[in-house]
Structure 1
Amino acid sequence: MNPSRPPTADLRRLLDERTADLQRVKAEYDNYRKQVRRDRLAVREVATENVLRSLLPVLDALEAARRQKAMDPGLRAVAEVLEAQLGSLGLRAFGQPGDPFDPTRHEAVTHLVSPAAVRLTCTEILSPGYRVGGRLLRAARVTVTGPPPG
């Protein structure tokens, strides 16, 4: 201890230093916890997207069966339950005839020209697109109709 200072001043300084150290460690720990929480959510989102993406061929097969009118009541019930459960995980289908063509959301498989067309429009949905949250899992495959070039 410093003889020129009263012992309480040294104790106050030590207490202030330790308090500052403790506050710094607490802030670092809080930041670490927040980062771990963000990382866990990101891993969960990626895992969910991977599972949903792997089930898209199943949804395509169900849609093909619907188009061929080959769904019996049992298969229809399974399809409805599957689609509801995937929807509860955030899976959303998109793509309707008449939608404006958006190359970030649509994959043009066929392009038709029509003098009556004003802009590129999705005229047939060959397979729907899917997204979860704001992330695109698969672009909708579409037939596009647009005005003649020039």
Structure 2
Amino acid sequence: MTEETRGNTEEPGAASGKTAKGRDAAGAKPAAAAAAAEETEAGTESVADLRKQLAERTADLQRLQAEYQNYRKRVERDRVTVREIAVAAILENLLPVLDDIGRARDHDELTGGFKSVGESLETVVAKLGLQQFGKQGEVFDPQLHEALMHSYSPDVEETTCVQILQPGYKIGDRIIRPARVAVAEPEPGGSSSTSEEKSEAKGEDAAEGAKDAKSAKASKDKSDTEK
């Protein structure tokens, strides 16, 4: 009887312990879920922060790359400009020599060894970018030509270079020396005079044609009468 009573006495305690464990387990589930939710939220915020930092670093890198490209272009442009200035300064001192070669060629004096030297020099300066300009018959451009002589001519309709006294030279768009020229302008009132002359000529031709037609008709009438 004593053992059975002891066994019966222990059973309620055991059941009570199991119930407490169940309550603890049930209470632990919401706590674990809350902790997991907090971790997920913290992880989401961390990912968003990392993405923001990545976007900022990418923008910084793109800006630095653009600045570097602009710097390279500016350095290259400055380098070309400095080279053109240096070459222009050297070639400007050679222009009188090129003028002498041109005059010798115009007078058929560019012969023998002098011809070879002159052609070699012209080839070298052409490789350095020197270009000659200025031709007879060109329309006068004050940015390219320097007028040393002036005249009027009925053969031109606008201010025209009628003679090249010295050719011009340039490197790219840089003018080293303008072409020195003689220019001619249309004669004052030349256009109206020309129009009047053309009208008078047409009138004379018409009158002459009418006179010839009248003479032909009179001859025909006389011939018919004689018949």
Task: Give the TM-score band, short-chain normalised.
Answer: 0.7 to 0.9
Corresponding residue SS for 1:136: strand
Change (3 A) 1:81 1:12: same
Cα distance in structure 1, aligned partners of 2:152 and 2:59:
72
Offset of residue 95 of structure 1: 1.9
Structure 1 residue 82: deviation in Å?
A: 0.9
Q: CA deviation at 1:111?
A: 1.2
Asked if the contact 2:84–2:171 (Cα under 8 Å) also holds between the matched residues in 1, the reply is no
Name the structure 1 match of 2:150: 111
Please list the CA deviations of residues 74-106 of structure 1 after superposition, one character each: whole Å capped at 9, or x if unmatched.
111111011111112222212222222222221
* Residue of structure 2 in register with 1:96 after alignment: 135
Summarize deviations over 1:110-148 as a string: whole Å, max 9, x none: 112334443322222111111222332211111222333
**Where do residues 31-46 of structure 1 align in structure 2 (5 Å cutoff)?**
31-46=70-85
Counterpart in the other structure of 2:60: 21
CA distance in 1, matches of 2:71, 2:155: 59
The answer to which of 25-34 and 115-124 deviates more is 115-124
The alpha-carbon deviation at position 48 of structure 1 amounts to 2.4
Q: 1:5 aligns with which of 32, 42, 66?
A: 42
159, 172, 192: which one aligns with 1:133? 172
What's the counterpart of residue 142 of structure 1?
181
Residue of structure 2 in register with 1:86 after alignment: 125
Moved more, 73-82 or 28-37: 28-37
Change in 2 beyond 3 A, CA 1:10/1:74:
same
Secondary structure, aligned partner of 2:176: strand
> Displaced runs of 4+ in structure 1, greater than 6 A?
none
User: Aligned in 2, Cα 1:22/1:121: closer, same or farther, shift over 3 Å?
Assistant: closer
Work out the CA distance in 2 between the residues paired with 1:65 and 1:112: 27
Higher strand share: 1
The percentage of counterpart residues that share the same residue type is 50
Distance in 2 (alpha carbons) for counterparts of 1:11 and 1:120: 72
Identify the structure with the greater helix proportion.
Answer: 2
Equivalent residue letter for 1:75 = F
Q: Which runs of 5+ in 1 are unaligned?
A: none
2:220 alignment partner in structure 1: none
**Alignment counterpart, residue 88 of structure 2, candidates 44, 49, 61:** 49
Tell me how far 1:67 sits from its aligned partner.
4.0
SS in 2 for 1:5: helix
Match in the other structure for 2:11: none
Q: Using the TM superposition, give the Cα deviation of residue 65 of structure 1 relative to its aligned residue in structure 2, in angstroms.
A: 3.2
**Considering only aligned residues, what root-mean-square deviation do their CA atoms show, in Å?**
2.5
Task: Give 1:59's match in structure 2, choosing from 85, 98, 105.
Answer: 98
* TM-score computed with the length of structure 1 as normaliser: 0.79
- Deviation for aligned residue 1:70: 4.0
Q: Which residue of 2 is the match for residue 76 of structure 1?
A: 115
Unaligned runs of 5+ in 2: 1-38, 190-227
Q: TM-score normalized by structure 2?
A: 0.56
Measure, in 2, the Cα distance between the counterparts of 1:145 and 1:114. Answer: 6
Q: 25-34 or 78-87: which moved more?
A: 25-34
